[in-house]
Amino acid sequence: MVKSRVLLFFFLLLPALGQAQGKVDSLQNLLSRTTSDSLRILLMIEINGAIEFQDIDKSKEYLDEAAQLAETNDWDWARLKVYRAQSFAAVLVGDYSSSLRFDNQRLSLAAAAKDTAQIQDALNYIGDTYQSLGEYDEAYFYFTKAYKLAQI
């Protein structure tokens, strides 16, 4: 019985893995043909999301390149997206200080733009990071700030 469940699991999982690889290949193909920096940034973030659980080092390379393009073009919208992805990637490898750094950079940009959705998201990410660190009072502080902002 257990053996048949394991086999069923693999038969259901294998097509999904093939589809995921096909998606990554398609995105990489688009990236290689795209000259628009804004599209390149979005594609690199998308590729990162598709591979970050399989190859964190390669996903970090995509994020670093996307961050460089965002800085070169001085695009705050792109920085917001890249910092969010970099924060999540940092948490995946247990680098909480880098995660907090990226989220605080994102919070500053969002506050300057008065983008309440991005502010709330950054506050929640910061709260999540503090919760992962076991610093529950700090986590509560940031979650509460996000909640209060949502009520406005």
Q: Residues 11-50: pLDDT tens digits?
A: 444 444 445 678 899 999 999 998 999 999 999 999 999 9
The alpha carbon of 5 is separated from its chain's Cα centroid by a whole number of angstroms, namely: 33
- DSSP codes of every residue in 102-128: HHHHHHHHHHHHT-HHHHHHHHHHHHH
93 three-state secondary structure: coil
Q: pTM of the entire structure?
A: 0.83
135 three-state secondary structure: coil
pLDDT of res. 4: 46
Do the Cβ atoms of 78 and 104 come closer than 8 Å? no
pLDDT of res. 19: 52
pLDDT digits (tens, 9 = 90+) for 69-125: 999 999 999 999 999 999 999 999 999 999 999 999 999 999 999 999 999 999 999
pLDDT digits (tens, 9 = 90+) for 133-149: 999 999 999 999 999 99
